[in-house]
Amino acid sequence: MLTTISVVFLIGGAMTAPTTGECPNILDAAGVSQMFAPMIAHSIHSLTLEDIRYFFEEDATEENGIPTVNMDLNSDRRVLPDAPLAGYDDDFSTIGMKTFDVVMRNMNRTWWGITNFNTLDKLTHAFHMAEIWDKTAEQYKLVKQLLDPESEICGCITDIENNDVLNYLNLLAFKIKYPGITSGNKTITDQYIVSRAKRSAAYNFGGGYKFGGGYNFGWKRSGLANFDGFDFNLSDIELLKDIAEKLVDEDGVITEHVDSAEHWQTWREMVKEGMDESGYYDLAVFLFCMLN
């Protein structure tokens, strides 16, 4: 793959902006996988500006163009346009301790992070994402040497309104906030639809639903979603029913939390799976094109 990709990059100088219809062939020729959009959404959803600066571009700005899922689950704004500053404490010298500190500082905020995750769940997720970025960093260095940010490849990559990256980020935001919403399990999905319809000041979403499960963040390769007719500018209550019925992918919930050595074995195997190798390459290309 490397030889083919290198040749494509080296001859792919500045070109006119490709059309949406041309992009699938352009990306395929560059070695970008068909699972590009969902893998990118999974890989960037909790990325912070500090992470970008540590793993990829040390001079990245607050207007970095990397969309992320809003960690504030109480907000009506699901997706942020730029990876935000998380407030890493520079008194700590390692990225691991800085990440640990952010999770611990927010451990009492029910509406922060991922619904129904306990503190060890959230720490596991945070370190899992850091592993993905660390594995991507080496490929990023190679891509940076070969790819022209003005190329047709980057023209297609950065068109996140049409290449489904934004759609998958919005879908992921729903899965994080409403675990099991696409599971096809009406016992779960009906609770969300009814509860949102009845939502009042006394309604405590963060208290957890009866099933008590959290978002299953382990990467799995499944069919691509069909977003035809979906407008993610609409509110949660306007979209929940359609998401529950039309975007079913059997993505269930995690009902075992990191609260014992036995349950850790389940999570350990899940996080060790990581992504396919193609996912790290896709992410490196995406981040380079977006940041340059």
User: Which pLDDT tens digit goes with each residue over 50-72?
Assistant: 999 999 999 999 999 999 999 99
pTM assigned to the model: 0.88
d(CA 288, CA 182): 31
**CA distances (Å), 112 to each of 72, 109, 193, 205, 219, in order?**
5, 5, 21, 12, 22
Contact call for residues 67 and 79 (beta carbons, < 8 A): yes
User: Which pLDDT tens digit goes with each residue over 139-198?
Assistant: 999 999 999 999 999 999 999 999 999 999 999 999 999 999 999 998 888 888 887 666
CB atoms within 10 A of CB 93: 8
**CA distances (Å), 136 to each of 102, 158, 208, 285, in order?**
22, 18, 34, 10
pLDDT above 70 coverage of the chain, percent: 85
Q: What is the pLDDT along the chain (292 residues), one digit of tens a residue?
A: 443 454 445 444 555 678 878 999 999 999 999 999 999 999 999 999 999 999 999 999 999 999 999 999 989 999 999 999 999 999 999 999 999 999 999 999 888 999 889 999 999 999 999 999 999 999 999 999 999 999 999 999 999 999 999 999 999 999 999 999 999 998 888 888 887 666 533 333 333 333 345 555 554 555 688 999 999 999 999 999 999 999 998 888 888 899 999 999 989 998 888 778 889 999 999 999 999 9
Which of 2, 50, 63 has its CA nearest to residue 30? 2
